[in-house]
Amino acid sequence: MRHRLEFALSRNTKNQFKTKGQFATFITNFLLFLTILFVFGIFIRQRSFTHNFLSVLFLGQTLNVFDLIVIDLLWWRHTPRIRLSKVPQPDLYRNPRKHLHAFIKAFIMFLTIALIDGYLLTLF
């Protein structure tokens, strides 16, 4: 009986973490931040595309730099993982290269969002 219970518990924890594809995650984040930064951009918009583009770019990249330095490099890498204690590769999250790679991808994403939102804010 005890062996069956242990087997059932171990079987349930193996599939506990569901993962999405990188493309689906990127599109979800892109649409989310496109909407959020557009809403914030409404309050600071001007008639000039350059002003709108730079304002939205500044908001996005400030968030990106804060995420890299404070959350990823200072906090996330140096705290014990209670929530992610069963992740198969915990050392991957302690590696700064992973966080720098995510920063570069987010830099490109926020640049594209600033172009789109800057154009949309200029239209209205």
Element (H, E) at 102: helix 96-123
Residues 6+ apart with CB under 8 A from 79: none
| Burial of residue 122 (number of CB atoms within 10 Å: 0-12, 13-18, 19+) | middle
Residue 83 has pLDDT above 90, yes or no: no
Mean pLDDT of 33-38: 97
Outline where DSSP puts E strands in the chain.
none
Please give the pLDDT value at position 86: 64
Please give the pLDDT value at position 94: 73
Between 8-12, 37-41, 102-106, 117-121, the lowest mean confidence (pLDDT) is in 8-12
| Radius of gyration for the chain, computed over Cα atoms and rounded to the nearest angstrom | 20
Instruction: For residue range 89-108, list pLDDT tens digits in order.
Output: 667 777 788 889 999 999 99
Q: How many CB atoms lie within 10 A of CB 6?
A: 10
Q: What is the pTM of this model?
A: 0.75
Please give the pLDDT value at position 110: 97
Percentage, residues of the chain above pLDDT 70: 72
Domains of the chain by residue range: 22-123
Mean pLDDT of 78-90: 64
